[in-house]
Amino acid sequence: MFVEPNIGSLSHNRSGWVEVVCGSMFSGKTEELIRRLNRALLAQQKVEIFKPTIDKRYSKKKVVSHNDNAIHSTPVDFSRDILLRSTECDVVGIDEAQFFDDDIISVVNELANQGKRVIIAGLDMDFMGKPFSPMDKLMATAEYITKVHAICMDCGKIASYSHRRTKSKQTVVLGEKDVYEALCRKCFYDKMDS
């Protein structure tokens, strides 16, 4: 369980930081993002949540996790939009960060340098098991990284791979259990080789 660093009031301490929550599909990334944001909200901190407009699977105005635990969010087309829309807040949440352009790295750094707490959730690997840019770079520049895991849908071991059930070779194919399954290393590579 991630425990926030004991830094006192964000508004009186202008040093921000970056947290990354990464993992495969069905690993509870968004639930963990929502847990952290809800606790900040309860402490009366000003929170803004953003996600890329590409992810239109659910409600347009909400970060929605698979268990329907939702927080309102703002869809943005470009990562630069986050800077313009978060001037007043203490905590910035970013969901599905793997779908943002590479500008997100400097945007996140700028937010943290302004004294904000930035919490990023996203897929660390694509459907081929390769690092999902720009998440790899965000992880390299973050102070704190939490990797969450799913359960292998074939054998029940710890899973960190998102296997695509269809034959499409595009990096981005949106979908849920109809398109993806969480697999452990062995089951993933067994299927990739077959």
Interface residues with Zn ion (CB under 5 A)? 152, 154-155, 157, 184, 187
Minimum distance, C-beta of residue 157 to Zn ion, in the bound complex (Å)? 5
Q: Which is nearer to Zn ion, 142 or 150 (CB)?
A: 150
Query: What is the C-alpha to C-alpha distance for residues 70 and 97, in angstroms, rounded to an integer?
Result: 17
Q: Which is nearer to Zn ion, 18 or 152 (CB)?
A: 152
| Nearer Cβ to Zn ion (19/181) | 181
If we measure between CA atoms, which residue out of 47, 21, 42, 64 comes closest to residue 116?
47
Residue 53 tokens, joined: 């407009």
DSSP 55: -
Active-site option among 32, 96, 110, 176: 96
DSSP states of 161-173 as a string? EEEESS----S--
- The minimum distance between CB 125 and Zn ion, in angstroms, equals 15
User: How many helices (DSSP H) and strands (DSSP E) are in the chain?
Assistant: 5, 12
CB of 167 to Zn ion, least distance (A): 21
- Listed in order, strand segments (DSSP E) in the chain are 17-23, 47-52, 62-64, 70-72, 74-76, 91-94, 117-123, 144-148, 150-151, 158-159, 161-164, 180-183
For residue 96, indicate whether it is catalytic: yes
- When the beta carbons of 147 and 185 are compared against Zn ion, the nearer one is 185
CB of 155 to Zn ion, least distance (A): 3
Q: Which residue numbers are catalytic?
A: 96
